[in-house]
Structure 1
Amino acid sequence: MSTTHAPSDIILGRRQLFMLPTRFGLLFALLLVVQLLTAINYGNGLAYALTFLLGSLAVVSMLYTHRNLFRLRLAAGICAPVFAGEAAVFRIHLTNDSDTPRFGVLVMRDKKEIAGVDIPARGSADVELPIPATQRGRLAIPPVTVATRFPLGLLYSWSRRVELEQSCLVYPRPGDPAPRRTREQETLESTHGLKAGGDDYIGTREFRPGDSPHHVDWKAVARGEGWHIKQFGGGYQPTAWLDWDTLLGLDTETRLSVLTRWVLDAERDAMLYGLRLPEKSFAPANGEHHQHECLRALALFGLKP
């Protein structure tokens, strides 16, 4: 079966739709043949009328089955980034540009039904397609087909395989909690020109010999996340560099996994953090955008654009 390629959306035309009778349709056709032979044998006018009436219903249903998919628009929605090991949820947007409602539209993948929707006239419906994200990088939306048995179930119409140009960004799987390794000592940088030493909690840093046990994050120790020191300040934030070169002896995927964990921990602790990779670096910052840019660089590290 050939595949239909589309940039971001596609409108199903006549060349992209197929139709065959269902099992029920074949039985119905056999019934009509038997009924016609009976009418001929007995010369019964009512039997002729019933046979032709049922046959005309089958022919009309063929038209409606085809129209239920004809000119249906498929488009790929936005897929939120996920971590490796999670499920990427793609959204397929089905739009009906006609004045006739569409009933019983089935979205299928690998001959398995994903969802069935009814689409009102001049309306739309969304279908979610969860796909396991097994490795980092970009995960392309798999090809799908749409099908229908509307209105009587006598005929089955389906489309060619449709590939929508959409992908989901898959971050590396976060490693287990581990103390940060930095080539430079973590520092406190002022955000409002105030002095350090306030009462506001500003995050944690790795435990160093000589640190007071009163400032140890004992809850994190109990969770097995290692020894960390709680930091407090007034208008200050801790700043650290998360550096690829501090993870010597680890393979590439393990390094990416550890750096992913450090990025998430630094963002959780409201730190200013920078990221150094062999061919790219990000200046210290924080926030959702900075976290996404760092995780995106880790997800696409060493992969072809």
Structure 2
Amino acid sequence: MRPQLRPTLTGACCLLAVLALLATAINYGNNLVFFLAFLLLSLWLQGAWSCWRNLAGLGWQPTPDLSGFAGSRLELGGHPLPGSGRSHRQLRLTQGRSRLGSPLFLGPALDLSDTASPEHQTGRLGLSLPCPPRGRHQIDALQLCSTYPLGFWQARLPLPPLQIWAYPQPEAGASLPGESPNPAHRLQEADDFQGLRPYAPGDSPRRINWRVFSRREELAVNCFDGGRGGQTLWLDLAGTDGDLETRLSRLAGQVLEAEHQGREYSLRLGAWSCPPGRGPRQRQRCLEALAGYGAEQP
């Protein structure tokens, strides 16, 4: 998209000053006033071209994980992508407009100049917004804007809508449930075979003893000495008390607590469940399922 250009309040006052100077110069036949009027007009016109060019050729790369917790602040961010090789100065991330044309939400200014350090050139533009209710939402009216160089004009570059997740607000002090008798899959194996045990969700298919299955039609898993791991945590919506939003909030708190303790866990929402795991991917998957529960199929 091409930048949109409009004068600021300062630019409108500058144009009125030019008209006043021209009227005065014509009335009194003063060449010095003519010179001042045309000098100010040239600065006003040059400012329009420089302001538009400052945003021309820019791209935008949002951060991969755009999410927040309902009732808190949503931190949006991304990186401008200068594709023209020129300097880009005083960039800001905004959303919407007020009636006077000023931004409703304004991020910090950022310069992408050819003389800046590499860290500065790849700087992040952020914007803090109120997080919407639980679910998946679309954030519209995001723009890059700039009033460089003189503040007479404001250029705006519309950005594509962003899809974000609003997770349930986690319950404070949510305690983890008791451990399930089903063991979690082993994180490490040794070479010493120690026997068989019943299959548990999350076990690697490579460890299933298929000979036993062919004889008994029961899944059994090979056990090895030196394996480390523990019991998996099953976070189940059906086993949580309270109304729906309270239960989802408690489960969100338990997911965060399990990640904090480095535990393996699984989430079950009705007929849907995810295999045991841990880490950022598991956390994101479970929180997205909680956010979309009841609104869309996780």
Q: Does the 8 A contact of 1:96 with 1:121 survive in 2? A: no
* SS state at 2:109 partner: strand
Match of 1:130 in 2: 128
Match of 1:95 in 2: 81
- CA shift at 1:141, angstroms? 3.2
Structure 2: gaps spanning 5 or more residues: 97-102, 116-120, 193-226
What are the within-5 Å matches in structure 2 for residues 217-296 of structure 1? 235=228, 237-247=230-240, 250-296=242-288
SS at 2:170 equivalent: coil
Separation (CA, whole Å) in 2 of partners of 1:51 and 1:189: 79
* Alignment coverage as a number of residue pairs: 248
Distance 2:232 2:76 in 1: 36
**Aligned residue runs from structure 1 range 1-305, under 5 A:** 12-13=1-2, 16-20=3-7, 22-79=8-65, 81-110=67-96, 111-112=103-104, 113-121=106-114, 125-153=123-151, 155-159=152-156, 162-175=158-171, 176-178=173-175, 180=177, 186=181, 191=186, 235=228, 237-247=230-240, 250-304=242-296
Amino acid at match of 2:139: I
Q: CA–CA distance in 2 between the matches of 1:267 and 1:37?
A: 72
- The structure where strand makes up a greater share of residues is 1
The letter of the residue matching 1:274 is S
Q: Is the 8 A contact 2:66 2:163 kept in 1?
A: no
1:210 aligns to what? none
User: Per the alignment, do residues 65 and 251 of structure 1 end up closer, same or farther by CA in structure 2, a change over 3 Å counting?
Assistant: same
CA distance in structure 1 between the partners assigned to 2:123 and 2:264 by the alignment: 42
Please give the TM-score of this superposition, normalised by the length of structure 2: 0.66
Q: Closer, same or farther in 2 for the Cα pair 1:53/1:158, shift >3 Å?
A: closer
Q: Distance in 2 between matches of 1:151 and 1:236?
A: 60
| Cα pair distance change 1:289/1:51, threshold 3 Å | closer
Q: Which residue in the other structure is 2:208 paired with? A: none
Q: Are 2:61 and 2:78, in contact at CA under 8 Å, matched by a contact in 1?
A: yes
Q: CA deviation at 1:130?
A: 1.8
Tell me, yes or no, if the aligned pair for 2:146 and 2:156 is still in contact at 8 Å: no
Q: Is the 8 Å Cα contact of residues 176 and 257 (structure 2) preserved in structure 1? A: no
| Cα shift readout 1:7-26 (whole Å, capped 9, x = no counterpart) | xxxxx32xx51322x44434
Structure 1: how far apart are the matches of 2:125 and 2:246?
35
- Cα deviations across residues 230-279 of structure 1 (Å, max 9, x unaligned)? xxxx94512343333223x6322222223233334444445443332212
Shift of 1:300: 1.9
Aligned match of 2:223 = none
Whole-Å Cα distance in 2 between the matches of residues 17 and 189 of structure 1?
Answer: 56
Corresponding letter in the other structure for 1:91:
G
| 1:65/1:156 contact within 8 Å kept | yes
Normalising by the residue count of structure 1, what TM-score does the alignment of the two structures yield?
0.65
